[in-house]
Amino acid sequence: MKLFIKTFGCQMNEYDSERIAAIFQERGYSLTDNLEEASFAVINTCSVREKPYHKVESELGRLKKFKKLNPDFKIAVCGCVAQQDGEKFLDRFDYVDLVFGTSAIDRLHSLIDLVEKGERICDTSEGDDELSIPVFGRGKKVSAFVTIMKGCDNFCSYCIVPYVRGREKSRKPSEILDEIKYLVNNGVKEVTLLGQNVNSYGKGLDEDINFPKLLYKVHDINGLERIRFVTSHPKDFDDELIFAIRDLPKVCEYLHLPLQAGSNKVLKMMNRKYTYEEYRDKVLKAKEMIPDLALSSDFIVGFPGETVEDFAETLKAIKEIRYESIFAFKYSPRPKTKASNFVDDITDDEKSRRLNELLSIQSKITEEINKSYVGKVQEILVEGKSKKGENQFSGRNRQNKVVNILSNHKLNIGDIVTVEIVEAKKNSLLAKIVEFVGR
Ligand code: 5AD
Ligand code: SF4
């Protein structure tokens, strides 16, 4: 029995796919990348924008012929599109056997039981999903995701997440810490704590805990070397978190703080609950307090009513803040969201033009920042062999940038090495070994 699993979208989906794979492994399935030998395929989907939504349809089209060749081959669709469309999937795609939503993973064993008996089922009910992972199933690696909370209560006007992931719910600290200890005992050196809005971690729990306090607890875990987290919401980003990043050596100097737009008018229409000036003051303070802090951000271009002048404010913002990298997207209306009632008045051509302009200005900034790394001595966590050639290894610095390392000694995955950056490339850095610290 072999499982093929394909994941679209964010890190939360990657984490969910690990949970799903672990459940299948408990049932005796092994993983395969080869559809021809798979007996079950799971497509974990994303609906945050229109593009990934359409990818699901083409992926299902690809799976159809395998079903024809082997009628016992089972197909499941899960994740945000499954949550959004539910039963519609079973109607539209008569060869799909199982549709399960973002809160149904806890019930997956019984769903698979029914599918294996030949039933076609949809479960998108919103019950309590405990987010626990059957730990033994997790693969060997040095860097792992750990979900600390799910859902979102912010209702940014463009965003479908609150509708497909439900209300915010935090996991208990003890559960999170146990999971990380397990991972560390199995070779993990770096964890990325995941939540749609990690700053509101702890709301609704009985214990006296918030996100910075959780960072302190995670930091105490012996053998863990690095802590990262995504995503912070700028409105809740505060001094307590700045101090935790500054004072906890394992917390990496990398902050993903999505601005989305530079115009206060657009931010208001987006229901982001901060002005550009408030945002800028917070990040400048963070940069001042945390040496070598790298910033990244998400942007939406062509939001309804965004004028050329509004867009110019976004360009001004990226020049002022100087992010190391950004993710930028053309606005696309999503079902149920408030903004889907606004007139989507910017043409697709104009959205593309704005996107290209934003990305091209950013790519110059990224290049300049990359060059400023040359000559610096940095700590790298080795994650694998580089595709670039023999004697080259690949890892990331604390600022989350990919660094290829030239080394005459064989480095192992999980090594932490000290390097000197010798060359800046467009999207990565090249380095030579200065000192081998430990295994
Ligand atoms: N259109 C375009 N981009 C969107 N995002 C979320 N919803 C939309 C949408 N409707 C982007 C935001 C968010 C990122 C994950 O996806 O920038 O931060
Ligand atoms: Fe979506 Fe806003 Fe919640 Fe992020 S904070 S998941 S953009 S609603």
Please name each of the domains of the chain with its CATH number. Answer: 2-123 (3.40.50.12160), 143-372 (3.80.30.20), 377-438 (2.40.50.140)
Query: How do residues 11-63 score in pLDDT, each as one tens digit?
Result: 999 999 998 999 999 999 999 999 999 999 999 999 898 887 788 888 999 99
Task: Give the least confident one: 75-79, 379-383, 391-395.
Answer: 391-395
The mean pLDDT of the chain is 93
Cβ within 8 Å of residue 338, ≥6 positions away? 155, 157, 271
Tell me, what's the pLDDT at 385? 86
Query: How do residues 343-377 score in pLDDT, each as one tens digit?
Result: 999 999 999 999 999 999 999 999 999 999 999 99
Atom of ligand 1 nearest to the CA of 231: 18
Tell me, what's the pLDDT at 137? 56
Is the pLDDT at 71 greater than 60? The verdict is yes
Instruction: Say if ligand 2 is within 6 A of residue 233 CB.
Output: yes
User: Exposed, middle or buried by CB within 10 Å (0-12, 13-18, 19+), for 40?
Assistant: buried
Tell me, what's the pLDDT at 77? 96
Report yes or no: 178 and 214 within 8 Å, Cβ to Cβ.
no
252 known ligand binder: no
Instruction: Say if ligand 1 is within 6 A of residue 334 CB.
Output: yes
* Beta-bridge partner residues of 394: 384, 404
Report yes or no: 42 and 5 within 8 Å, Cβ to Cβ.
yes
Instruction: Say if ligand 2 is within 6 A of residue 216 CB.
Output: no
Query: Residue 93 Cα, ligand 1 centroid: separation in angstroms?
Result: 27
Tell me, what's the pLDDT at 138? 63
Tell me, what's the pLDDT at 312? 98
Tell me, what's the pLDDT at 390? 73
Query: How do residues 114-150 score in pLDDT, each as one tens digit?
Result: 999 999 999 998 766 666 655 555 666 899 999 999 9
Q: How far apart are CA 318 and CA 261, in angstroms?
A: 10
The Cα-based distances of 404 to 313, 378, 385, 427 in angstroms read 35, 12, 9, 11
Secondary structure letter of residue 221 according to DSSP = S
**Hey, what are 164's tokens?**
């497909």
Tell me, what's the pLDDT at 409? 82
Q: What's the average model confidence in pLDDT over 225-231?
A: 97
Instruction: Say if ligand 1 is within 6 A of residue 329 CB.
Output: yes
The Cα-based distances of 259 to 262, 271, 396, 399, 409 in angstroms read 7, 12, 24, 19, 42
Q: What's the average model confidence in pLDDT over 92-118?
A: 93
pLDDT bin (cut points 50, 70, 90) of residue 439 is very low
Tell me, what's the pLDDT at 135? 55
Task: Give the least confident one: 48-62, 63-77, 191-205.
Answer: 48-62
Q: What's the average model confidence in pLDDT over 183-193?
A: 94
Going by CA atoms, what residue is nearest to atom 4 of ligand 2?
196
Ligand 1: residue of 48, 164, 267 to mutate (most ligand atoms within 8 A of CB) is 48
Query: Residue 287 Cα, ligand 1 centroid: separation in angstroms?
Result: 25
